Structure 1
Amino acid sequence: MDETYLRLNGEWMYLYKAVDSNGDTIDFWLSRKRDKKAAKKFFRKSLRSPHNSNPRVIMTDKFAATEVTILSEIKLKRLDPKTQHRKSKYMNNIIEQDHRYIKRITNKILGFKHFKSACSVI
C-alpha cells in the first residue's frame, strides 16, 4: 500500500494504491488529502476487495497514518491480529515501480482531464 500524487483536471490529487505480491493492482483511490481519514477510507475499501479480505502481510512506507489505520483495524477486529505490518521506505519496491509507470504517462499528457481516463490508466 502506498500513495503518490498526480494531476486530475488541473488539481493535485493523491493516488492511494494497493498491489499484491505479484504487482497486480488490488484497489486504488483518489483523494484530495493525504491524511489519516483518507488512509482509513482507502484501507477499508481495499479490504472489501474479494481477493484481499485477509492479507498475511501489509507492506507500507513509513507514513504514520497507515500505521494508525492498520492498528485501529486490528483493534476493531476487521483485520487478523497475526497480520504482519512491514514498514520500510525501500522494501515497497513493487508499488514504487508501478508509480513510475503512472508518472511517466501523466507527465507526457500533463495530468488527467477526467476521472474516467485516470481510472482506465491506473
Structure 2
Amino acid sequence: MSQVQSAFKYSKEHEWVEVLDEGRVRIGITHFAQEQLGDIVFVELPEEGAVVKADESMGTVESVKAVSDIYAPVSGEVVEVNRELEEGPETINSDAYGAGWMVIVKLSNPEELDALMTAEQYEAFSKEEE
C-alpha cells in the first residue's frame, strides 16, 4: 500500500482527511504515524455527537511504545465512530487508510480543509520528520 493517498489531505500532526461529500470527512492517522507508534493496542475516540475543534485533541492511540493524542485536523461534529477499532485497534497498523479510519465529521468550517497539506506536501513533510 502506498505511504500516502493522493486524494487525501494531511495535517502536521499526521492525521489524514478524506472528503466524502459536501460537508463530511473521514479522519484517521497516517501510515507514517502508525509506523512511528508501532503495534497499536488501544484507541480512545470521541463519541458520536461530540464537537471537535481543529488542532485540539479528540482522542488517544496507545501503542506498545507510547500513548499519543489524536488531533482533529478540522472542526465539526462527530457523526460516526469506527467501533471496529475498539475490538481490533491493530487494524490501524494493517490498513491505516482503509478499515483503520477513526471518525466521520460533519464540517463546521469547510475552509479549514484549505489549511491542510496535499499528499505531495505531506510526503515531503514526513521525510523531514524521520
Please report the TM-score for the alignment, with normalisation by the length of structure 1. Answer: 0.27
Q: Which has the higher helix share?
A: 1
Please report the TM-score for the alignment, with normalisation by the length of structure 2. Answer: 0.26
Q: Which has the higher strand share?
A: 2
* Larger of the two Rg values belongs to structure: 1
